[in-house]
Amino acid sequence: MAYPMYEVDWSVLPPEQNRRFNPAFNIATIKQVVNEAIERVAPVSVRMPTPTRLRDLIRQIRAARTAAEERSVVNKECAYIRSTFREEDSVWRCRNIAKLLYIHMLGYPAHFGQLECLKLIASPRFTDKRVGYLGAMLLLDERQDVHLLITNCLKNDLNSNTQFVVGLALCTLGAIASPEMARDLASEVERLIKSPNAYIKKKAALCAFRIIRRVPDLMEMFLPATRSLLTEKNHGVLITGVTLITEMCENSPDTLNHFKKESGQREIVPNLVRILKNLILAGYSPEHDVSGVSDPFLQVKILRLLRILGKNDAEASEAMNDILAQVATNTETSKNVGNTILYETVLSIMDIKSESSLRVLAVNILGRFLLNNDKNIRYVALNTLLRTVHVDTSAVQRHRTTILECLKDPDISIRRRAMELSFALVNGQNIRGMMKELLAFLERSDAEFKAHCSSAVVLAAERYAPSDKWHLDTLFKVLLKAGNYLRDDTVSSTIQIISSAATERQAYGAMRLWTSLEQSAVSGLATEKQPLIQVAAWTIGEYGDLLVSEASSAISMVDEDGVDDFVRPTEEYVIDIYQKLLWSTQLSISTKEFLLLSLAKLSTRFTTQASQEKIRVIIDTFGSHIHIELQQRGVELSQLFRQYGHLRPALLERMPAMEPVAAPHREEQELDLSDTSPDHTKPDQDALLDLINGSDSLTNGDVEHQPEQIATTNNNTSSNDILDLLSGLDLTPSAAATLTARATSQLHTLTDFLFQAAVPKKIQLDMMSPSGTTLSPQGEITQVLKVTNPTKTPLRLRIRVSYNIDGTPVLEQTEINNFPADLFN
């Protein structure tokens, strides 16, 4: 069969008979042929050179060896693109804009292409619109005047018959919408959300999401359209619908209440539960399967929305308890996809009013995360446990061993979170074991951990110390292991504790600190442990007579670890060690001041004339010291050995027991608080507020810290007012002595409700988690208080309640002491 003579007829031949057929002959090559034909017929005077293709430009830029060479290539290309814009060359506009966008991505100015993007958007061709809208999203924002010119193009394309053109317009509107543009086109977006086309519907929902973020006032317009989104079978529409509803609920309490109050087929929680149940029970679907899990992205979005809907809502929480348990038990944990879903499930369980067994399951999931080889999963688990430890402390305590193992993790972020969580788990029952692990961590930890860790150990030891001797041993270990990273307030607080201890404990402290002081001086490590030297110098200066006296031999020097390494020194040897430290050029001036004054005090503690004379000689040498402060001390102390020698014993006698810094009245010192708050302006007669603001001790506390400052206080509220608020205390006499506090409100909604209590230190108070933090009218918040009173002394309970009414903070406090006499019988 002969081939036709005319080339125009070749295209109608079947491929097997067309000798010019080429499979690579596609739309791109057709376009290139057409463009070349236009170039051939164009007049020579107006013909522009064929522009460089995008891929060739990328090669040229990547081939540049220096920044200057790269700038040269970019500037040359930008100059050519500008010339084509001036020539109104529409043939290559799409290609030139694409190159300009790449240049913009490299950080070079490309603002001169803004109007050309609008021209591409106005083009009827989809390929031009695609590049034009991309350029608009990258080059335009609401600060540019050109931004206003695009509104009409967007409105036209939102009404296009081509779904892909509508999709481009919706994407661009969501990306660059100004408040004015959003208000002008919100009705168009709301109409498209109701479109039967799933592609358009999901794009419109995402656009509405961005519009609501820009203009929250438009939320109400989209509210009716969201109802249909959760009934769709298309997963793309479902996930965008859940995302839109989540944004609405997070930013508007009224919208959240609206969704909660819907009933019947429109009730949102049952619908979400049904969708989630279908996902976890559905069989394999290649379209939505990710590592064996059916659409994990949609599951995570639904779990997040359920968490918002169930918070502080018992009815909604009850409806989702079963599905959360199913997700927690049926999700595969061998892949990251499953771990992601489990993480969101745990957060949902902890945030809603879930059952206690479900909370234990959630904590156990986090415990399994701690055993995962992926350090990111371990970090997430520790972070989440730290946020939820006050919700269910006993469940977290079961994983204490695993948490302590994380202190040895090579990753610094994991060690930091494990340290913070470990301190949150410390209580009176586990204080010995926890302190042993935390002190070992303090010794081997990085420098950035030592200050925080040492301070936390000191506070925990002060709060839960099982004995005075254990308390002192722990403080001495902190001084030894933290070195110079110890905070200054720890030095002063340790000195205060020693000064207020019994005489036997003061002697024990002097002997134990002497051992550490001697070892540091002999080993040459004193410069690395100067806080220890300061505390030791003060203690030995005050109780040096107990250190060298044989009368104190009866005192047991076996520490909590069963070690007794104390060797009683002679007076001369003590002075020699002091002299070695004072002669050191590496010790700070502050440390030498401690040592010099301590040495002067030893002249009244030691009995031999030789010791006193040796001390005088050492002190005299500081009368000509180069540092003015030490020189002044040396001169003044030297006078106590000469003309004012008769005053020396009285001036350098043992100091009385120190009071804690900013301590309240003696009676108030006996109280153990369940929480702390920042200082407030208060009248002097308000003893309770002084007490609460002046102490930082906690009970085994399940009460979270409230860092926000309360701007308005009501410190003179009578006990009748606050008891009316709490509806009294439900007293149930039993061996456990459990009290139930109930708070009710008649007219107002109270938010951020916080109940705090304080009891004498002889009594132990454990506060369970409250039933909520928001008190609605006619509603109720309950909180259980467990009181242990071994001595059966009359119970005094000081309480403080803080809350917000219409944004105004309120603080009330009182004391209750009229408990039944047989409460602890």
pLDDT single digits (tens) 697-727: 333 333 333 333 333 334 344 444 444 444 4
Question: What's the pLDDT at 816?
Answer: 84
Mean pLDDT value across residues 298-308: 92
Query: Residue 668: which residues within 8 A CB-CB, separation 6 or more?
Result: 687, 690, 691
User: Which has more confidence, 696 or 817?
Assistant: 817
Question: What's the pLDDT at 703?
Answer: 34
Question: What's the pLDDT at 447?
Answer: 86
Query: Residue 156: which residues within 8 A CB-CB, separation 6 or more?
Result: none
Q: What is the DSSP string of 639-653?
A: HTTTTTGGGHHHHTS
Question: Which of 178, 172, 168, 54 lies closest to 104 in space, CA to CA?
Answer: 54
pLDDT, tens digit (0-9, with 9 covering 90-100), for 48-104: 567 888 899 999 999 989 999 999 999 998 998 888 888 776 778 888 889 999 999
Question: What's the pLDDT at 438?
Answer: 93
Question: What's the pLDDT at 567?
Answer: 85
Question: What's the pLDDT at 745?
Answer: 78
pLDDT, tens digit (0-9, with 9 covering 90-100), for 101-128: 999 999 998 888 888 888 888 888 898 8
Residue 290 has pLDDT above 90, yes or no: no
pLDDT, tens digit (0-9, with 9 covering 90-100), for 615-635: 999 999 999 889 999 999 999
Question: Which of 360, 662, 741 lies closest to 493 in space, CA to CA?
Answer: 662
- Local structure of residue 338 (DSSP, 8 states): H
Mean pLDDT value across residues 332-360: 88
669: left (phi over 0), alpha (psi -120 to 50) or beta: alpha
Query: Whole-number mean pLDDT of the chain?
Result: 80
pLDDT, tens digit (0-9, with 9 covering 90-100), for 127-138: 889 999 999 888
Mean pLDDT value across residues 640-652: 89
Mean pLDDT value across residues 606-621: 91
Residue 171 has pLDDT above 80, yes or no: yes
Question: What's the pLDDT at 682?
Answer: 35
Give 426's pLDDT tier (boundaries 50, 70, 90). very high
Residue-range domains of the chain with CATH: 46-140 (no CATH), 149-261 (1.25.10.10), 475-559+568-652 (no CATH), 736-816 (2.60.40.1230)
Question: What's the pLDDT at 726?
Answer: 44
Least confident of 179-188, 561-570, 604-613: 561-570
d(CA 152, CA 147) in angstroms, rounded, equals 11
Question: What's the pLDDT at 742?
Answer: 82
**What global pTM score does this model have?**
0.65
Question: What's the pLDDT at 548?
Answer: 87
Residue 795 has pLDDT above 90, yes or no: no
d(CA 299, CA 314) in angstroms, rounded, equals 22
Q: For residue 758, list its beta bridge partners.
A: 673, 798
Give 3's pLDDT tier (boundaries 50, 70, 90). very low
d(CA 337, CA 290) in angstroms, rounded, equals 7
User: Which has more confidence, 40 or 15?
Assistant: 40
Q: For residue 742, list its beta bridge partners.
A: 782
